[in-house]
Amino acid sequence: MSILVTGGAGFIGSNFVLEWLATHNEPLVNIDKLTYAGNRENLISVQGDPRYRFVRGDVADRDLVARLLLEHQPRAVVHFAAESHVDRSIVGPDAFMQTNVIGTFGLLESVRVYWEGLNHDRRNGFRFLHVSTDEVFGSLNEGDPAFDEESPYRPNSPYAASKAASDHLVRAYNHTYGLPTLTSNCSNNYGPYQFPEKLIPLVLHRAVHGQHIPVYGDGRQVRDWLHVSDHCAALRRMLEAGEPGAVYAVGGSAERTNLEVVEALCELLGEARPGPNYHSLVHMVKDRPGHDRRYAIDARRAMNSLGWAPQETFSSGLRKTMQWYLDNEEWVSRVTTGAYRDWIDRQYHASAG
């Protein structure tokens, strides 16, 4: 028995792979295209593990995926592979449609053919776990109830629209073909190995180098923060106990404004590396187009039916995350290439308020 993971060299995927191999003896095959946010260095600690195999490839390559499925006979596919940065989707949406929509469709077709060829018991035990986002539900106003599994889809960015389309494809393959699917709509993840274009590692990277910390608009956009290890634990429970066809909203019950997150990081950095006035580096910039105001997740279904709950508070998770980035500055230095610096300069300097 084995599982096949797509996008396992990215942020959430690499954390899932590392935690899986630390807690399971079951082999794992990881297929990743290695775009800018995919990094094999994340998985250097398991490269010699006989239970682990890495394959560089695209989930839209049906021949490659079909060969891997037949060779390894996985009992589950966990689908992380996606373009995931809203800002990049606004500037260049094509890649998001290709990876998130066409890629997911190609993967579903390959998996469907494989699954239909399994015997009765293995068909019943098989799972296709699709990792999605709360952004497909759009934006909440202050005081609105949190998103849950029944929330209507109202995507507001090209990224969110591409993930919404992939969610609908997964649902359709369950309803039409009977493929045993599971979907996770998660809130904002944070933790080790996150590419420093996202808020928390971006703040840390710029603060320790004494650079301005860009904050969009008034900084009062609200997100529900979920430590990546808690999300990975929920995904493992979904594989173990999830009902085929079910959707699970997974969140950390930790709503914070972006400015609150930035200020908390400045406080923690001041304790860990006293001296600079990190708060003085905060720099408000012009808001991005169509910026969603608030996300929040009601995770009661996942908690009640899966017996799962977040183990990290936002305070404990943020402190651990900050320490990881301070302890791994060489990793950060290697992933923040010239191309990364050019992107940051274009994205924030051009929109400075």
Mean of all residue pLDDT scores within the chain = 93
Residue type, 38: G
213 pLDDT exceeds 90? yes
Counting every residue written for the chain, the total comes to: 353
Residues 258 and 216: beta-carbon distance below 8 Å:
yes
From the list 200, 228, 224, the residue with the least C-alpha distance to 213 is 200
Q: How far is CA 47 from CA 16, 38, 55, 57, 332, in A?
A: 15, 15, 12, 17, 20
Q: How far apart are CA 307 and CA 234, in angstroms?
A: 9
Is 278 considered catalytic here? no
Domains of the chain, by residue range, sit at 3-192+227-255+294-311
Q: How far apart are CA 62 and CA 130, in angstroms?
A: 17
pLDDT at residue number 350: 40
pLDDT band for 351, please (50, 70, 90 cuts): very low
352 pLDDT exceeds 70? no
Instruction: State whether residue 73 is helix, strand or coil.
Output: coil
What are residue 323's phi and psi, to 5 degrees? -65, -40
3-class SS string, 273-292: CCCCCHHHHEEEECCCCCCC
Is 342 considered catalytic here? no
String of DSSP letters for 220-246:
--EEEEEEHHHHHHHHHHHHHHPPTT-
First to last CA, the chain: 55
- Catalytic residue chosen out of the listed positions 32, 58, 135, 224: 135
From the list 2, 59, 6, 54, the residue with the least C-alpha distance to 26 is 2
Is CATH 3.40.50.720 the right assignment for the domain spanning 3-192+227-255+294-311? yes
pLDDT band for 197, please (50, 70, 90 cuts): confident
- Catalytic residue chosen out of the listed positions 58, 134, 224, 292: 134
Tell me whether strands 3-6 and 28-32 are parallel, antiparallel or unpaired: parallel
pLDDT band for 339, please (50, 70, 90 cuts): low
Going 18 to 22 to 23 to 29, the CA torsion angle's sign is: positive
Is 295 considered catalytic here? no
pLDDT at residue number 347: 60
Residue type, 113: V
Total-model pTM: 0.93
Instruction: State whether residue 180 is helix, strand or coil.
Output: coil
String of DSSP letters for 111-172:
HHHHHHTS-HHHHHH-EEEEEEEGGGG----TTPPPB-TTPPP---SHHHHHHHHHHHHHHH
- Catalytic residue chosen out of the listed positions 159, 193, 216, 325: 159
Q: Of residues 349 and 69, which shows the higher confidence score?
A: 69
Across residues 252-256, what is the average pLDDT? 96
231 pLDDT exceeds 60? yes
